[in-house]
Amino acid sequence: MSPRTPIKHLAPLEDGPVRVAGWVETIRDQKKVQFLVLRDESGAVQLVRPRPEGDDDISRAISGLSLGSFVQVDGQLKHDERVKLGGIEVKIDTLEVVGRSLPESPIAEDTSIDKRLDWRFLDLRRPEHNLIFRVQTTFEHALRTWWIEHDYIEIHSPKLMYSPSESRAELFQVPYFETVAYLAQSPQHFKQMAQSAGFGKIFEIGPAFRADPSFTSRHATEFVSVDAEISWIDSHEDVMRMHEELLVAGLTAVRERHGDEIEAAFGVQVTVPETPFPRIPLAEAKQIVAENGYVVPRADEDLDPEGERRISAYVKEKYGHEFVFLTDYASNIRPFYHMRHADDGALTNSYDLVFNGVEISTGAQREHRVEVLEQQAREKGLDVAELETYLEFFRYGVPSHGGFGMGLSRVIMLLLGLPSIREVTYLFRGPNRLRP
């Protein structure tokens, strides 16, 4: 039996016998000739078969096909520049219906996103959705390559936690034998444990969970978190420098491999940003957006989504840059483990990274002095006893360190100019979605 040839590999082949397989995208069942468009994971090709007088098993099988059925075809490849779909076609010799589809699809291109998510396996057959996950694969691979080339260690931290990783807010609690466990909001504690273990530089790409009842275009209850942590830093500037170099590597790989496809499918040109990325203290960013006509509703908090869009527009106009680091966040809106400024305890050595108007990441220098950690946890109203396992990491020596956590789906959404992370998440989970 000859192997199947992915459709994108047909064009360089000489005319002759081939085997292709995929789902039927269109059918033109004419009196003298039958045409099919067959699509697989790599592309689409036209199939053709002259119709014999009186019909035969193959012509009847083609006439009875429903769109979306999976078929396997042996036939003759022919190059013909008159064929609009790639200048090639396959003349059908044999056709096997491997998996027959119901005749009516429950979704169409103009179906709402919620209905499309109900039928995600069908929605993902669209070529542009296939491209989304190829882009994601390339991006993740480039990040891993950069980390490995720079001597990082990959870890896989547990997602069942004995105690909250940051606070009791937004936690999923699950039964665990005779006790309860919590789904990890982030790998934060275990990233820091690796610094105490002497790993030096680590990364992880894995799931995280937030019991956040938000229905916005950028929130999910389960998401993929991209995390890194490094030892022997002087400030959060070291983390930002690592972070921007990593993103340049990821975006360079995406542009080189998929740039033309992305522009054709989404009308977006992938830009590789110059380093260093602009850096603006949060207080200054608030002042900038206020001077440009927008006052953040709560002065003692972070920028709201409109503020993020406004500061991004400012940076785009002034610096021609899609990224901006917002730095020096107030300690009252940061976790207890963020290190505070040596000369101003009201500020932290931390940042948010905003990409095309949306925050994608939070990073910081961590507090590594256990007595300071305990005090800052108490100030946040946390039970130090519940944090004892975490605090033990700091009682036996730990270097200065810092890192970041970044939402993968937000990056891909903004990179491709799409309106919601629902479009770029394989199977989205939100407050009212647990299926499929």
Asked whether the bond before 297 is cis by omega within 30 degrees of 0, the reply is no
Give one DSSP letter per residue of 168-187, joined into a string: STT--EEEETTEEEEE-S-S
Contacts of 408 (CB under 8 A, 6+ apart): 136, 140, 205, 223, 224, 225, 226
Please name which of 328, 292, 298, 297 lies closest in space to residue 310, comparing C-alpha atoms. 292
257 vs 361: CA distance, rounded Å: 25
Is residue 263 marked as binding? no
Is residue 41 marked as binding? no
How many residues does the structure list for the chain? 436
Is residue 366 marked as binding? yes
Is residue 120 marked as binding? no
CA dihedral 63, 65, 71, 74 (to 10 degrees): 0
Please answer whether residues 379 and 353 qualify as being in contact, where contact means their C-beta atoms are separated by less than 8 angstroms.
no
346 vs 289: CA distance, rounded Å: 22
Is residue 362 marked as binding? yes
Is residue 334 marked as binding? no
Is residue 166 marked as binding? yes
Is residue 179 marked as binding? no
Is residue 284 marked as binding? no
* CA distances from residue 217 to 42, 90, 306, 388, 423 in whole angstroms, order as listed: 29, 43, 14, 37, 10
The binding site for L-aspartate comprises 166, 210, 362, 366
Output the known binding site for ATP.
359, 407-410
- Residues at the binding site are 166, 210, 359, 362, 366, 407-410
